[in-house]
Structures are given as structure tokens and as C-alpha cells.
Amino acid sequence: MSNATLVMGAVAYAPKVVTIWDGFKEYFAQHGLAFDYVLYSNYERQVEDMFRGSIDVAWNSPLAWIRAERMGKALGKPVRAVAMRDTDCDLTSVIVTRSDSAIKSLADLKGKRVGVGAVDSPQATLIPLDYLRSQGLQPGSDFSVRRFDVLGGKHGDHIGGERDAARALMAGELDAACMIDGNHLLFVGEGTLPSGKTRILAQTPKFDHCNFTVAHHADAPLIDKFQKLLLGMSYADAAVRPLLDLEGLKAWQDGRTSGYIALEHAVDAAKFYDQRGNITVADYRY
């Protein structure tokens, strides 16, 4: 049996990240897997470090997955997705307006003000703006875009930008705002969007969120054990449940990549990364 340690990278988008991965480290140790983690302030360095050999696996955002996949292909070091949360699958974003707004259809957004999240948010910026392009509306020409950049480099994991856009919508500074559907429900529940005061104007097709991305150089037996331990975690286990709750899932499942097609298209349309994974978007600070 190998004495090697599996090293994972994760982005510190909130203080709870330390609690989460300390808990997982202890769980893995109890089940015979030597595991450690490195925290990053942004996904861009995390992806780059994977190809430097500093980490074996990364808990990646969907945007980070796209960059890693493109860099892997360009370098001849392909990556793979081995696991994701049940809650990472089949998500949608929504374009929301106020319930008293005269805007009744997407066509009514012409000449209007649309709020989005951070420049690097798949769910609140890239995907919804590309959906509007698919409906014949060009950002910046058919309608103005107001971006709420919060914590660049965290790929929208910090939802402050979405919440700020929601507040601006209710303050009358915007005609519509983009957000993931789950956050729309959250904002209604917490009162940021008062109940009954908003209306969903449109909903994007489904897409997937995060995954565990494995580096080309990672030790196969260690990755196999890591994957088996994840998939074997049960929400019925009282020792495991708090960790799963903190990470927002009921069960881990096999990784899939079919749910990133919409984001791939959005990345190309926004010129965020090139085909080799180089950052090409303007005005990106992280």
C-alpha cells in the first residue's frame, strides 16, 4: 500500500471552507487515506498549480474545470472529473424583474439595464448573458450590463455579487437581474427580494456546477480510494452529515462533464479563455 499523500486544492470563498476540509481530512484518515489540502484565494492559481504538480486533485468550479480541461489538452496532460455533488447537477439561472415592471418578455429588455454578478460567475454572468445572446439580445448594445464584481477569482462561489444585483433591482437601479435559481429562492426567503415582488422573466437551460478534477500525474490507486470513500459517504451517518450539510449535498456521485456545454459556449462568446486555457477576458482582477 502506498504511503503517499493525496493533496487537494480548494478555494477559500468563505471561512467554513477550513471546517469542511479539516473534517474531510479526518474522515479520510479514519478510512486509511492519507489526505491533505491547500487553500487558494482564486481558481486561476489553483488550476495552474495542478499542472505544476503542486496538487493532485482540485475541487473546481465549472469555469475552473473548463480552463483545466483546455490546458490539459494543450499540454498533453488530460484531466478528468471523478466526483461531484448531487446538487451540482441540472441547475438553471433565471433573469428576474420586479413584479410591477412593464417588462413582460425578453424582447422588452432592449434599451434596459440588466444586472449580473462577478465577471467570472458562470451562473450569474456568463451563462445568462449567453442565453440572452441566443435569444437575439446582444449585451452592451441591445441592453446595458451592470456588473457586480465581488471577490474576483472565486468564480461566483461567493454570492455577494448576485445579492448586490438583487438589491439594485429592488432599488430601481436595474430593470432585470441575473442569478442562479437557488439564490433567487434564497434571496426571497431572506427578504433581499421581498416575497411577491419579483417575477422570473426567463430561465436558462440546465447546466452543472462543481467537480473534483484529477490531474494527469495523480496516483491512480489513491484517486480510486478517494473516489470510493466519497461515493460511500452516507447522509444517514450522523458523523458525516454535518460535513455534507456544510458542503451543500446529500450524496456524492460520479463526475460527469456533459453539463458544461452551455458554459463552454459562454466562455467562447465572452472570450474568457482561449482554447489553450489562457485568460483572455479584459478587466479581470483576481
Q: List pLDDT tens digits, range 235-265.
A: 999 999 999 999 999 999 999 999 999 999 9
- Residue 1 has a pLDDT of 36
Q: List pLDDT tens digits, range 163-205.
A: 999 999 999 999 999 999 999 999 999 999 999 999 999 999 9
Average pLDDT over residues 57-75: 98
Domain 93-203, CATH homologous superfamily name and number: Periplasmic binding protein-like II (3.40.190.10)
- Does position 2 have pLDDT exceeding 60, yes or no? no
> How confident is residue 157, by pLDDT bands cut at 50, 70 and 90?
confident
Q: For residues 36 and 195, is the Cβ–Cβ distance under 8 A? A: no
Average pLDDT value over all residues in the chain: 96
Decide whether 6-88+208-259 matches 93-203 in CATH topology.
yes
Q: List pLDDT tens digits, range 81-122.
A: 999 999 999 999 999 999 999 999 999 999 999 999 999 999
pTM reported for the whole predicted model: 0.95
Provide CATH code, domain 6-88+208-259: 3.40.190.10
Cell of residue 18, nine digits: 477550513
Give the percent of the chain with pLDDT over 90: 94
**Number of neighbouring beta carbons within 10 Å of residue 129:** 25
Q: Would you list the domain boundaries of the chain?
A: 6-88+208-259, 93-203
